[in-house]
Structure formats: C-alpha cells, structure tokens
Structure 1
Amino acid sequence: MHEEIKEAYGFLFEKELLEEISEVGTLKRVKAGETIIEIGDYVTGMPLLIDGAIKILREDDKGDELLLYFLERGDTCAMTLSCCLGQKKSEIRAVAETDTIFVMIPIAKMEEWTSKYKTWRNFVFQAYHARLSEMLDTIDAIAFLNMDQRLMKYLRDRAKIKGEVEIQSTHQQIAYDLHTSRVVISRLLKKLEMEGKISLQRNQIKVIDL
C-alpha cells in the first residue's frame, strides 16, 4: 500500500507523513457503481483517492439526485472533511464512477496532521478551494446554461474523468445526475448526435466534440 500512496501523493507530502498514512490508513477497493458514502451515514474517515474516480451527489426532498463534482486521483472530498471534523452525518452520496482504489484516514489523524504537517494543512485548504470552485461551476451551469449545454459539459467531464471518449451510461442515469427527466435527456442526446457532437449506441455515448 505504501508504494501506491507514495505514487499518488509523494509530490504533495513528505516522507514522514506518507509513512503515517500507510500505517493508519485502510486501503479500499470498490467497483464502478458501488456506493462509498451514503446520505445520513456518520463519516468516520476521509478518503484519499489512489486510482479511479468518484462522483459526489446531493439529494433533494423528493429523493432526486444532483451531481456536484467528480473526485480523481490525488483528490479528497471537502464535504466529507467538513462532516468528519464536525462529527456530523453525511450530506452527500459518494458513488464510484469507475473501479476505484482509495485510502480511508481516521478522523483523529486528520486533526493531528493539520497541526503537525504544513503539507497536510495546505492539502486540506486546497481541497476546500477546489471543491468550492467546482460547486460554483455546477451552480453556474444550472443558472446560466441551457440543458443541452449542461448535458454536453457533463459528457465532456465524464469522458475526461474516464480518459475515454466512450461513456457507458443509460439515459436514465444521466437524467438522475442532471436532475431532469429521461425523456428530456433522450431528446437532447438525439439533438447533439444530429449536430455531430456525439454518437449514440445502446447504453453507450461516444463524445466526438471534446
């Protein structure tokens, strides 16, 4: 596990901190589509991504989801950090976008390292800033972009996260992520295909206009 952590975070953390992460962290491997953190769960640790991608979702009173942002290798979730430090229940759902490997760090160590290691403190602050910027992008997309523009941005983001132009997904799943109906998504996907921006196959979308 130490080598995997070093490869993912060696450019951020000093040797001593990397060794502590290896000693107290718990390595987790999850398959694409698995829920990692559920809304209402008490968060007992913070995930550090080694490989893969995780999508972070919010849920409204009706149970409809909205995609907030993606986490990639070298990232952590600011909202998870907030719940950990406040010892509150999770307000987000974290789902593996791809097969994912991460290390779970206990709450007590997170607080200890904040005062002990400047690199860890900087990492936490930068994580808050990066996730806040991504949430502002999501708010801007909802407020200022048409649904077809939001959909195209979503497809480009997923393609970049996966490192592939082909996205395996149903129209219903995309509708869940964008907080709209399957009928709307199906209509807009067909429109984007006619414009030459994507190519549609069964449960697969090829992003042409990256």
Structure 2
Amino acid sequence: MLFLTFEKIQQMLDELKKAYSGIFEDALLEEILETGILKTFHENDKIIDYGDYVKFLPLLLSGAIKILREDKEGDELLLYFLESGDTCAMTLSCCLGQTRSEIRAVAEKETQLIMIPIQKMEEWTSKYKSWRNFVFDSYHSRLTEMLETIDTIAFLNMDKRLMRYLQDKAKINQNELVQVTHQEIAYDMHTSRVVISRLLKKLELDGKIELQRNAINVLDL
C-alpha cells in the first residue's frame, strides 16, 4: 500500500473497520490493509466477467454488486445482490478451484472493494477463525439467496417476482426511487420488455409503484 497517500490509507482503514470490524479481529484487518488493493467501480462497470480467471477475492466496502448468470442462449438471470461486508461465494469457489468464472459481477452503483490475493485465502483459513467463519457464512448466505431465487422463479407469479425485484433494488440502494429502465429489468429477470411494461402498469394500478421516466417509485416496501 506504499503507493497510497496517508489520507487514502486512513480512509481505507476507516471503511474496512466500518464494514468488517464486527466480523474480523484487528490482526486480520491489519493484514487485509497491508495486502489488499483498493478498487473503485462506477455504476454498471463489470467487476468480474464470464470466463475470467479470478485471482483476487473481493471484499465489499461500500456500494452494491449484482451477480448474474448466463444461459446457453446468452440470456442472463439475476442471482443475488452483494452489500457492504459481503463477498461472493461464486468467486470463492473459482479462487479455490482455480477455474474460470461462471458469473458476471456488475456494480449496481459506485462501489469500493478491497481485492485480496487468492494465495492469502488458504493462509488465513488456518490462521484466523474469524476468516474461516466468514467464508462458511458467505457460502451459506449466497446458497440461501440462490435457493430463494429458484423458489421465486418456480413458485411466484411474474408480477410478484417483479415486485420483489423492485423491493430488493430499493433496499440495496437505500432509496425507494429505483433508477432503472424496463429493458434493464427484462434483462435481469430473463423476460421481455413488453411483459415487464405490462406488469409495471398493473403494479401501478394496484398502488404498489409509481412509474416515472427511467425510474420507478416503490411505494410498497
């Protein structure tokens, strides 16, 4: 971290403690600060893409990331969101197995990450109990979220799926006004823009949302 200014290092330390002080002990936080690389991504920037070899584990300091999965036809489905204090279980798997990424990670809004070299993962697993717990908890949380996604697709009507999607985006961005187009929603939900537009109009008539230009006000949170 010698190439960073003192002010930047202090800012990074403050953000790291804010996101992970309740998860990692001080000694591990210091190692993360020494070995990690601070990265900033803007809204819609690709952080990890399909086929990438993952050489760093991302620890999310601020912002939000959406994790997408692609089918054989090239259509995408939103799997889950990551927030401050999270990491991606799919990335963990790629790091440990040294395999290519099967997901795409995209910044939902301006996002700061600390990228941890993969060689540190095994070392910290044996050295720090808090790191082992964090890895296991991350796997469990992401698995639960993917099962919820499967349940949503299998058991909920499309209008209920859409409402849950909008509620999740509003909570992730901490703003009931969701800046998103009908086409972007269609991509995330693996359907057509025409279907999304029709369902949004129905939700508006039901008093659950208010449609605006390239934005949706979520009234039912």
What's 1:82 paired with?
93
User: What is the alpha-carbon distance in structure 2 between the residues aligned to residue 159 and residue 7 of structure 1?
Assistant: 22
Give the aligned residue type for 2:19: A
Is the counterpart of residue 73 in structure 1 residue 70 in structure 2? no
Give the aligned residue type for 1:130: S
What's 1:97 paired with?
108
Give the aligned residue type for 1:60: D
* Uncovered stretches (5+) of structure 1, i.e. residues with no partner: none
User: 1:162-201 residue pairs with structure 2 within 5 A?
Assistant: 162-201=173-212
Question: What secondary structure sits across from 2:147 in the alignment?
Answer: helix
1:62-89 Cα shifts (integer Å, max 9, x gaps) = 1100000000000000000000000000
Match of 1:114 among 125, 135, 138: 125
* Uncovered stretches (5+) of structure 2, i.e. residues with no partner: 1-11
When the two chains are superposed, the root-mean-square deviation of aligned CA atoms in Å is: 0.5
User: What is the alpha-carbon distance in structure 2 between the residues aligned to residue 133 and residue 83 of structure 1?
Assistant: 19
Residue 2 of structure 1 deviates from its aligned partner by 1.9
User: What is the alpha-carbon distance in structure 1 between the residues aligned to residue 23 and residue 36 of structure 2?
Assistant: 17
User: What is the alpha-carbon distance in structure 1 between the residues aligned to residue 70 and residue 154 of structure 2?
Assistant: 18
User: What is the alpha-carbon distance in structure 2 between the residues aligned to residue 175 and residue 156 of structure 1?
Assistant: 16
Match of 1:157 among 162, 165, 168: 168
Give the aligned residue type for 2:107: A
Is the counterpart of residue 148 in structure 1 residue 159 in structure 2? yes
Match of 1:21 among 12, 32, 37: 32
TM-score if structure 2 supplies the norm length? 0.94
Residue 3 of structure 1 deviates from its aligned partner by 2.1
Give the aligned residue type for 2:164: K
1:37-86 Cα shifts (integer Å, max 9, x gaps) = 00000000110000000000000111100000000000000000000000
Is the counterpart of residue 138 in structure 1 residue 149 in structure 2? yes
Match of 1:205 among 201, 209, 216: 216
